[in-house]
Amino acid sequence: MVTQTRNMLLNVGPSHPAMHGVIRLIMELEGEKIKGVDVEIGYLHRAFEKMCETVMYAQCFPYTDRLNYVSPLINNVGFAMTVEKLLGIDVPERAKYIRVIMSEISRVTDHLTCIGASAMELGAMSVFLYMIKAREYLYELVEEITGARLTISYVRIGGVKADLTAGFVDKAFQKIADVRKVLIEVDELLTRNRIFFDRMKGIGTISADDAIAYGITGPFLRSTGVAYDVRKANPYLIYDRLDFEVPTGTTGDNLDRYFVRMAEMEQSLRMIEQCFQQIPDGAVSGELTGCLVPAAQMVDRAKMGQTEDLIEDEVDLDPTLQGGTKRYHDAINADQKDVVLPAKENTYGNIEGLMNHFKLVMYGHGIRPPVGEVYFPVEGANGELGFYIVSDGRDLPWRVRVHPPCFPIMAALPKCLVGGMMADMVSTFGSVNMIAGELDR
């Protein structure tokens, strides 16, 4: 009698706790060894690119929030800067610094989530809780500025929605210190942890040549020793004025990716601190000269023609609109009336501001870039996040394409997995930091 061995096909996902959302891996196993992997994506496809073609430029921001939902601010910045490149406009210094501060906060939240989740999948539950605690500190900062935690839609074409609040700098320094404490704790828990070390070292290895051939960017590429970072290679905003390093690994395994992410978080925190030292002054809350008038009252007074005393007054707004009133407006928005919404006092208090507002929000009017096409990359938390926009001169984009950093990594996933053990799939997949929102769009 002849014994026969056959490979087994195992279907992992789309509903599997280790699949971070919705991915299906069809694995060919010989015992517990992985012989082949077929990656199936698309379960979270929401037609981002198609929907962007149906709305005006400014209305795309809520969609971009939902691309990478652990660092939505970077997506906002990327999209806004692509449209600004298309329009050929620049934003004020203060807005640039605010964008960098918010992007770096988001990068830290993203890395915290990634390391926390992948450590949890290896059994280190307390690390996950510590990381989520640290992420919470940063989300509180994000919430204070943007009014939301996740679907923030904070960046505007030509600027940002709101200025920093009074006392934000002190709060931010406090939170950064708190996050650093957590990072030290986590470092003690994980870096010399035998179980964690053994399960990460030499697992999921990819060579630098393969990573480049597959178009991989971000921490995944840097873990192989290639120091490519958009913030260094093509500096945008004010990254060229900041002093930071690009941490790299050597072997391109899971452990290196963990080290790269840990080091990057420290660099991001450093960058935020430098930004606070360099940022030009804006208006400070509390230096109000006129009275604070509720929005409805201001509109009523303006309708009745009592506009003389409105010039000094400031409007009291709904919390989601705060921070963009006329005191702050000019420091954080470009001086482009055909792109940037006027300060709310002008919209409510005079006809020119109202017309300007409506010219920008009505279909058939809106922001109208010239005919052309641009590609603009920013460094997302997972790698190069590029937007490619084609304009036909109308108020709706003709084509919006996003280059998602996860996509090439997922294409190369079989390269990392094949030859390894089934149980190691969990740690490798965790280190990819797959975000289904940007992968499937």
Partner 1 sequence: MTPNLTTSKEQGILTPLQRVQEQFSQEVVETHAFRGDETLVIRPGALLAVAKFLKTAPELDFNFLMDLTAVDYLFFAGGRVQKEFRFEVVYHFYSLKHNHRLRIKVPVDEKDPEVDTLTGLWPSADWYEREAWDMFGIQFKGHPNLKRILMYEEFQGHALRKDYPFNKRQPLIGPQN
| Residue 410 binds to partner 1 (criterion: CB under 8 A) | yes
C-beta separation of 339 from 290 below 8 A: no
Q: Is 392 in the site for partner 1 (CB under 8 A)?
A: yes
Q: Is residue 374 at the binding interface for partner 1, with CB under 8 A as the rule? A: yes
**In the complex, least distance from residue 419 CB atom to partner 1, rounded to whole angstroms:** 17
Q: Nearest distance from residue 232's CB to partner 1, in Å?
A: 8
**Cα atoms in the Cβ-side hemisphere of radius 13 Å centred on 88:** 6
Q: Does 375 contact partner 1 by CB under 8 A?
A: yes
Min CB(282)–partner 1 separation in Å: 29
Residue 22 in 3-state DSSP?
A: coil
- Binding status of residue 125 toward partner 1 by CB under 8 A: no
**Pairing state between β 292-294 and 314-316:** parallel
Alpha-carbon separation of residue 103 from 76, 78, 173, 271, 272 (angstroms): 9, 10, 16, 10, 9
Nearer to partner 1, 12 or 400 (CB): 400
Comparison of 120 and 206: residue with beta carbon closer to partner 1 = 206
Q: Supply the minimum distance, in Å, between the C-beta of residue 92 and partner 1.
A: 20
413 binds partner 1 (CB under 8 A): no
Collapsing DSSP states into helix, strand and coil, what is residue 385? Answer: strand
Q: Is the dihedral of CA 71, 75, 80, 84 positive or negative?
A: positive
* Residue 215 is a binding residue for partner 1 (CB under 8 A): yes
Q: Assess 365 for contact with partner 1 (CB under 8 A).
A: no
Which tokens is 96 given? 């640039």
Is 249 a binding residue for partner 1 by CB under 8 A? The answer is no
x/- binding map, residues 139-178, to partner 1, per CB under 8 A?
Answer: ----------------------------------------
Buried b (16+ CB within 10 A) or exposed e, 245-255: ebbbbebbbbb
User: Burial, 287: exposed, middle or buried (Cβ in 10 Å; 0-12, 13-18, 19+)?
Assistant: exposed
Q: Are 274 and 242 in contact (CB under 8 A)?
A: yes
What string of DSSP letters covers 321-379?
GTT-SHHHHHHHB-S-TTTSPPPHHHHHH-HHHHHHHHHHHSTTSS--PPSEEEEEEEE
Question: Per rule CB under 8 A, is residue 50 in the interface with partner 1?
Answer: yes
Residue placing its CB nearer to partner 1 in the complex, 183 or 374: 374
Region binding partner 1 by CB under 8 A among candidate stretches 45-53, 162-170, 249-257, 358-366: 45-53
Binding site residues, partner 1, CB under 8 A: 41-42, 45, 47, 49-51, 53-54, 85-86, 88, 210, 212-215, 226, 228, 233-234, 371-375, 377, 384, 386, 388, 390, 392-394, 398-399, 401, 403, 407-408, 410-412, 440-441
